[in-house]
Structure 1
Amino acid sequence: MKHFSPPLLAASSRRKSVGGHQYHSKKSSSPQGVGYIASPILDFWLTGGVSVIAMGTLLLIYWLGGNHSTSVTDAISQAIVLQALVNWPHFMGAYGLLYQPLSNIKKYPFATLYIPAILLICLVLALATAPHQASAWEVNQDIAYAVWLVAAFYLAWHYTGQAWGMMATFSRLSGLMLGPRQRWLLRAGLRLLLIWHVVWGAQDLPDHWLGGLGRYIPELLQVMTWLCVMAFLIGIGIWVSIRSQSGRWPDKRVLVSWLAVYMWYWVLLLMPAAYVWVQLSHALQYLAFPVRMQVNQAAASTSLLMNKKRLPRWMPVGLKYYLWLVGLGMLIFYLPMILFPVNQTYGLPVVLASMVSIHHYFVDGCIWKISHPEVRRALFWHLPSQKAG
Structure 2
Amino acid sequence: MALHLSAETVAPRAAAPQKYLFGPVADFLMLGGSAFLILPFLFLVPLEYEGAVAATMVFVAYVINYPHFAHSYQLFYRNFGRKVSGDGYDRGLQFRYIFAGIVVPVIMGAFFAYGAAAANARLLGYATNAMFFFVGWHYVKQGYGMLMVDAVLKRKFFDDRDKKVLLVNSYAVWILAWLQTNTAVTQGKYYGLEYYTFAAPSWIINIVLLLATASTAATGLMLVDRWRKNGGNLPYNGVVAYVASLYLWILIARINPLWLLVVPALHSLQYLAVVWRYQTNVERDDPGAVGDPPLKLLAFLGPLYRLRVLGFIVGGAALGYLGFWLIPFVLTALIPYDKQVLGSSLFFFIVLIFINVHHYFLDNVMWRRGNPEVSKYLFR
TM-score of the two chains, using structure 1 as the length reference: 0.74
Kindly indicate whether residue 76 of structure 2 is the aligned counterpart of residue 98 of structure 1: yes
Size of the alignment, in residue pairs? 338
Matches within 5 A, 1:72-87: 72=50, 75-76=53-54, 79-87=57-65
Pairing partner for 1:129 from 118, 128, 138: 118
1:322 aligns with: 313
Matched-pair identity in %: 21
For 1:69 and 1:115, the matched residues in 2 are separated by 44
1:119 aligns with: 108
Matches within 5 A, 1:279-318: 279-305=264-290, 313=303, 314-318=305-309
1:135 aligns with: none
1:274 aligns with: 259
- Between Structure 1 and Structure 2, the one with more helix by share is 2
2:347 aligns with: 348
Shift of 1:351: 1.4
Determine if contact 2:128/2:353 at 8 Å carries over to the other structure: yes
Determine if contact 2:69/2:320 at 8 Å carries over to the other structure: yes
> Which letter maps to 2:172?
L
For 2:183 and 2:51, the matched residues in 1 are separated by 21
- Seen in structure 2, the aligned counterparts of structure 1 residues 155 and 190 have a Cα distance that, compared at 3 Å, is same
Deviations 1:212-254 (A, max 9, x none): 982734x654664454344334333333323333332202212
1:49 aligns with: 33
> Which letter maps to 2:353?
S
Matches within 5 A, 1:1-389: 1-3=1-3, 29=16, 34-58=18-42, 61=43, 72=50, 75-76=53-54, 79-101=57-79, 102-106=81-85, 107=94, 108-130=97-119, 140-203=120-183, 205-206=185-186, 214=199, 216-217=201-202, 220-221=204-205, 224-225=208-209, 227-261=211-245, 262-271=247-256, 274-305=259-290, 313=303, 314-335=305-326, 338-339=329-330, 340=332, 344=343, 347-370=346-369, 372=371, 374-380=373-379, 383=380
Aligned partner of residue 222 in structure 2, secondary structure: helix
Shift of 1:204: 6.0
Aligned partner of residue 19 in structure 2, secondary structure: coil
Deviations 1:315-345 (A, max 9, x none): 2222221121111111211335655386728
Structure with more contact order per residue of length (Cα contacts < 8 Å, sep ≥ 6)? 1
For 1:224 and 1:54, the matched residues in 2 are separated by 29
For 2:158 and 2:48, the matched residues in 1 are separated by 40
Determine if contact 1:73/1:274 at 8 Å carries over to the other structure: no
Shift of 1:112: 1.6
Q: Which runs of 5+ in 2 are unaligned?
A: 86-93, 188-196, 293-299, 334-338
2:91 aligns with: none
TM-score of the two chains, using structure 2 as the length reference: 0.76
Q: Which runs of 5+ in 1 are unaligned?
A: 6-10, 17-24, 131-139, 384-389
Determine if contact 1:267/1:274 at 8 Å carries over to the other structure: no
Moved more, 318-327 or 270-279: 270-279
Deviations 1:246-269 (A, max 9, x none): 332202212211221222234325
- Seen in structure 2, the aligned counterparts of structure 1 residues 358 and 267 have a Cα distance that, compared at 3 Å, is same
For 1:215 and 1:104, the matched residues in 2 are separated by 41
Determine if contact 1:126/1:144 at 8 Å carries over to the other structure: yes
| Aligned-residue CA RMSD (Å) | 3.5
